[in-house]
Amino acid sequence: MTDMIEVSGLTKAFGPTVAVADLDLTFAAGARHAVIGPNGAGKTTLLHLISGELRPTSGRIRYDGRDITRGGRAKRSRLGIARTFQQPTVWGSLSVSDNVALAAWPHTAARGAWRRGRYRALAEDSGRHLETVGIAALAGRPAGALSHGERRMLDIAMALAADPRVLLLDEPAAGLTEHGVERLLTALRALPPEVTVVVVEHDFAFVSELADTVTVLHDGRLLATGTPAQITADAAVRTAYLGDLRDARDAADPLDPLAAEETA
Amino acid sequence: MTAPVTPATPPSQNPQTPKVSQNPDTAGSSPLLSALRSRFRPRLRVAAAAVVLGVLLLGAPSSLDDYGIGLLSKALALGVLAVSVSVLEGYAGLPSMGQAAPFLVGAYTAGIMGQHGHDLGVVQLLCGTATGAAFAAGTGLVAIRTRGVAFLMTTLAIGELTVTVAGQWHSLTGGTDGMYGIPPVRPLPGLIQLDSDGAVYWYVLAATVVAVGLTWRVLRSPVGKLLLAGRDHEGRMRSAGHRVAVHRWLAYTGAGGLAGFGGVLMCTVNAYVSPADGSFATSALVLLAVVLGGATSPLGAMFGAGLIVATRDWLSGPFPGHGPLLLGLMFIIAVYALPNGVAGLRIRLPRDLPRDLSWLRSRRRGGPA
């Protein structure tokens, strides 16, 4: 497989704190690639660097063979990198369907979306994406009035509407009900196989459902990359990941679902 | 996800979700009456406000003396300026303290044209709009790089610099003495010069209706949504691939053109232009007019400008010298009584309106005022 995104020597420091340290990582085209790690491991920072929210302190980012390190985020978005946010962000004073239409606007082939007729076509097309994430019934609501879970689904629908080649998801399952997680998984599985999905997630069950490749970050450094099965078996991962998680959220063994799958 | 999912039904046909804000034309299979109601409700509200304002403006000349008519004309010109500020503040999220600068540029354009024998109103309006827009296009390159208070200060500086230049550039503007002897305009080719306060009023009213109507139409189009989204969450717009800086610059330029248009009207009304027309006081008053009127409502901004002129120049007649005091009192009352501006006023209707209106209300509240 070809590399869709390749970061080399990527470093991001906030003052004395180094969030991402000299990271070399590739995301293959069409991969379902999960990035996991304890809190503060630099996962979200990595997404911010790829999508252009943050500028790296040093290092390079290549996308589909071209260097995009210096490109702004609007430009990267138009090149085909879409993303969702840990805190789902929507345009609160507009309706749900307007949100999706505006998200699709820069990516539509049709020129002149500022004309009513063209925009209406965009708004009608938004229903497709709202159905995918299961909030079609809310199309006319103001986005500011949505619940947290609905807002997350809208955020995802907006990313899908951009017809992306690379989809970056920042903890998409956080705060969703079980039903919501299932719907999200269905939506992501329905994506065209050539779309590259990079998902940052805490929920290991979700990761194991979706990902074919898992990368573990720890203190901004690459700890391990491999298939979900390889990662579960990795001793270093278990110590780093488990130790932190026990402190953070008093959870049971987060690798359990995977382990169970393996023995089955 | 908690909502019922209806996979096979396009969202526009769902009877539970009347589309209030967009696409009113597609309210499909819902009961006819509620569809009609949801389709026309926002237009109805605007229409009601427009009718009230229209009756006031059409009926006023017959019951006012020349001074009153002159004030009303002035209020209309300031109202156009207020609309340009409401575009910037309410839609683009850019609270400008220097919008009187393109206003002044437009006024001087008209004054200079008039002094050189170009007295056609339409041509003056077009040229004033063009110079106002060009001025904003230039200054906007600096101004739109800033946000919030920094934008406020930058535009304030642009406004003050413009006033200073206008006061110093004697050969062009007549300096701080102002520009006298500007002949009355002929509205259109073939018409005679406007020879009375009443005639000037009707001309200004017609021009204002055209400008505000055009602005309203643009803001109701997808362009308005683009601006609102950029105001709501600029970062998300960038992440979605929108060139927010370009949108803002265009909005700033367009608002500058509108302010220039208002300046031309002001010049026509006063037959006199001086740097004081573009002073900080003008910018501040107009910004307050927009806050009074409700930031995202052009008609509200017009109404706010009218209230201010009425309070400062007319109501203060019996209390000479106390105009600022009256203005201050009005603002205090307005802030407490109308937190969402005049356009935020809602008359309680008995039937099932509250649910839909409640979000419209929250939408009006959005401005950074």
Q: What is the pLDDT of residues B242-279, one digit of tens each?
A: 999 999 999 999 999 999 999 999 999 999 999 988 88
Strands A196-200 and A166-170: what pairing?
parallel
Q: Contacts of residue B242 in chain A, CB cutoff 8 Å?
A: 74, 102, 105-106
From the list A103, A135, A145, the residue facing B359 with the nearest CB is A145
Q: Which CATH architecture has domain A3-80+165-263?
A: 3-Layer(aba) Sandwich (3.40)
More confident site: B111 or A39 = B111
What integer pLDDT is reported at residue B328 of this predicted model? 86
B:13-32 residues touching chain A, CB 8 A cutoff: 14, 16-23, 25-26
Sorted by where each begins, the domain ranges of chain A are 3-80+165-263, 89-163
Q: Span B139-157, mean pLDDT? A: 92
Domain count, chain B: 1
Q: What would the mean pLDDT of B223-243 be, rounded to a whole number?
A: 91
d(CA A46, CA A171) in angstroms, rounded, equals 13
State how far residue A198 is from chain B, nearest Cα, in angstroms.
Answer: 16
Inspect the interface and report whether the beta carbons of B14 and A177 lie closer than 8 Å: no
Q: How buried is B10 (Cβ within 10 angstroms: 0-12 exposed, 13-18 middle, 19+ buried)?
A: middle
Report pLDDT for B62: 84
Q: Note the pLDDT of residue B14.
A: 40
CA of B8, closest CA in chain A: separation in Å?
A: 9
Nearest C-alpha in A relative to B235: A53
- Look at residue B49 and tell me if it is in a domain: no
Q: Is residue B203 part of a domain?
A: yes
- Give residue B215's pLDDT band: very low, low, confident or very high (50, 70, 90): very high
Given B17, B231, B238, which is nearest A137 (Cβ)?
Answer: B17
Which B residues in the span 107-146 are in contact with A, Cβ-Cβ below 8 Å?
A: none
Say if residue B228's pLDDT is above 60. yes
Write down the pLDDT at residue B295: 74
> Is the per-residue pLDDT at B118 higher than 80?
yes
Q: How far is B27 from chain A (nearest CA, A)?
A: 10
**How confident is residue B199, by pLDDT bands cut at 50, 70 and 90?**
very high
| Whether residue B241 has pLDDT greater than 60 | yes
* pLDDT for res B42: 59
Mean pLDDT of chain B: 81
Q: Residue B75's pLDDT is what?
A: 93
Residue B303 lies in a domain: no
Query: pLDDT band at residue B175, thresholds of 50, 70 and 90?
Result: confident
Q: Which of A114-118, B179-183, B254-258 has the highest mean pLDDT?
A: B254-258
B164-191: b or e for each residue (b if 16 or more CB lie within 10 Å)?
A: eebbeeeeebbeeebbeebebbbbeeee
Mean residue pLDDT across chain A: 84
Which residue do the tokens 């309680």 mark? B348
Does B229 lie at the interface with A, CB-CB under 8 angstroms?
Answer: yes
Cβ contacts of A103 on chain B, cutoff 8 Å: 240
Please give the Cα distance from A57 to A54 (Å, whole number).
Answer: 9
How much is the pLDDT for A40? 82
Contact criterion met (CB below 8 Å) for B143 and B101: no
What's the pLDDT tens digit per position in B32-41?
555 555 555 5
Question: Is B115 domain-assigned?
Answer: yes
Element (H, E) at B131: helix B121-143
The pLDDT score that the predictor gives to residue B65 is 86
Mutate to test the interface with B, among A93, A125, A179 (most CBs of B within 10 A): A93
Residue with tokens 């079609």: A136
Tokens of B31: 């009961």
CA angle at A81 for the pair A144 and B141, rounded to the nearest 5°: 70
Inside any domain, residue B126: yes
pLDDT at residue A75 tops 70: yes
Q: For residues A152 and A172, give the distance between their C-alpha atoms in angstroms, rounded to a whole number.
A: 7
Domain contains B82: yes
Across A187-195, average pLDDT: 90
- Residue B96 in any domain: the answer is yes
Q: How confident is the model at residue A110 (pLDDT cuts 50, 70, 90)?
A: low
In a domain, B325, yes or no: no
Summarize the confidence of residues B335-346 as an average pLDDT. Answer: 72
User: What pLDDT, in 10s, does the model give residues A212-241?
Assistant: 999 988 888 888 898 888 888 877 777 766
What range defines the domain where residue B151 resides?
71-279
Contact predicate A26/A222, CB 8 Å: no
